[in-house]
């Protein structure tokens, strides 16, 4: 199962925002991080249900680069006994979390874009 949320025109909108104020860019990144956190929380719940260690469960965090938000595992591998552990986490935790929360993420991004555009007079 592959699930991806793509917002068409987001880079162009971000470019326009960049021309405005630096505070607006930070607000945009904070909002995107909030949307990614929806998936991170779901990933923590799924990972806990699978019996993964609390260290692994606690490592799922939202991250923003430019106009892209994503969830990453911040913990480094500890033993190397499972070279496929990253793939396992992606298939059994992160992709299902995004699939379950995709509608909420889309709704959060849509509300954020509408609110920010309204505040800027678009």
The single residue listed with the structure tokens 């979390």 is: 97
The backbone torsions φ and ψ at residue 10, rounded to the nearest 5 degrees and listed phi first, read -65, -40
Asked if 75 and 55 touch (Cβ cutoff 8 Å), the reply is yes
* Segment 80-116, tens digit of pLDDT: 777 888 888 899 999 999 999 999 999 988 888 888 7
User: What would the pLDDT profile of 4-47 be if each residue is shown by its tens digit?
Assistant: 767 777 787 777 766 666 677 788 888 889 999 999 999 999 99
- The CA distance from 16 to 25, in Å, is 10
């Amino acid at each position: 199962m592959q699930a991806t949320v793509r917002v068409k025109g987001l880079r162009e909108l971000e470019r326009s925002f960049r021309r405005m104020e630096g505070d607006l860019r930070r607000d945009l990144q904070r909002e995107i991080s909030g949307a990614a956190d929806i998936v991170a929380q779901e990933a923590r719940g799924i990972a806990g249900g699978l019996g993964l260690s609390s260290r692994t469960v606690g490592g799922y965090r939202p991250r923003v680069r430019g106009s892209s938000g994503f969830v990453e595992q911040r913990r480094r591998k500890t033993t190397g006994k499972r070279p496929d552990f990253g793939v396992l986490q992606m298939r059994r935790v992160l992709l299902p979390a995004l699939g379950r929360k995709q509608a909420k993420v889309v709704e959060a991004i849509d509300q954020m874009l509408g609110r920010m555009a309204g505040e800027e007079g678009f």
